[in-house]
Amino acid sequence: MSNSVKKAFEIIKYISNNQGKLSLSELGRQLGMNKTTLFRYLETLELLNILEKRDSNWYLGIELFSLGHKVDANNRIVDRIHPQLEEISQRLNETVNLVGMYDNSALYLDKVESSRELQMRSKLGDHLPLHCTSLGKAILSSMPTDKVDVILSLIELKPYTEHTVTSIPELKKQIEFVKTNGYSLEKEELEPGLSCIAVPLHIKSINFYGGLSFSGSPYRFIDEKVKELSAELMSLSDKILRSF
């Protein structure tokens, strides 16, 4: 573990329990740090809005509140949606996934696996790239065009397999497909031998951009199966949106 990260966390944690009670000198004595070193930490954390200085005392900053709010919101979303994921997974014997947009990637929030042998390697808390996953393309399809343009200018269109789309014009074409048809289909772009069908899940009331998907072998996702499963996901998405 990085000593700098560990020390920064110790400072944040100590201040969280003593907000408004500690000056620089007092904080240094309590943490066993000299004032010069401690000041460098505090200055950096203040610039990042993680800590805030008021009247020579230290408080938790707005950025921690923002991050904490996102975690709480995601947990509430998972709690409300999970029973519906379990129902559809058991009824269709399909692996179903829930992600949310975070830091220009798709963050794995929930997953219910089928009894089939093939499973995704991704686990809860993993970040999935937007450009080569059905979930990522579904999320992008629900966003304003100008916001999508900004995101595409920031992310790397890294080739994970020989099927990965690495061209922005082609990616935009696939995003338009989702807007027209309501679902995204990705075949072995992220992992060989794995495909996904996804639909967007944009919960406007809480500004949540996410997606729902089924994942499995590309040999199972033939035309008729794609129609059936995409219809199930769109129905589930509608049901979830009506509950918020």
Q: pLDDT tens, 110-168?
A: 999 888 755 556 777 788 999 999 999 999 999 999 999 999 999 999 999 999 999 99
Last residue of a domain, one of 60, 75, 100: 60
- In the predicted structure, residue 173 carries a pLDDT above the cut 90: yes
Residue ranges making up the domain that contains 89: 67-243
CA 57 – CA 15 distance, rounded (Å): 10
Q: pLDDT tens, 207-233?
A: 889 999 999 888 888 888 999 999 999
CA 65 – CA 99 distance, rounded (Å): 22
Asked whether residue 77 falls in the same domain as residue 196, the answer is yes
Asked whether residue 138 falls in the same domain as residue 35, the answer is no
What's 120's domain CATH number? 3.30.450.40
Residue 111 contacts residue 97 (beta carbons within 8 Å): yes
Exposed/middle/buried for 219, CB within 10 Å: 0-12, 13-18, 19+?
A: exposed
Asked whether residue 10 falls in the same domain as residue 99, the answer is no
Asked whether residue 9 falls in the same domain as residue 117, the answer is no
Asked whether residue 90 falls in the same domain as residue 105, the answer is yes
Asked whether residue 142 falls in the same domain as residue 239, the answer is yes
Asked whether residue 56 falls in the same domain as residue 121, the answer is no
pTM of the model: 0.72
When divided into structural domains, the chain yields a total of: 2
CA 244 – CA 202 distance, rounded (Å): 11
**3-state DSSP of 83-103:** HHHHHHHHHHCCEEEEEEEEC
The mean pLDDT value of the chain amounts to: 87
Asked whether residue 38 falls in the same domain as residue 120, the answer is no
What's 25's domain CATH number? 1.10.10.10
Asked whether residue 27 falls in the same domain as residue 75, the answer is no
- In the predicted structure, residue 69 carries a pLDDT above the cut 60: no
Asked whether residue 40 falls in the same domain as residue 109, the answer is no
Asked whether residue 72 falls in the same domain as residue 43, the answer is no
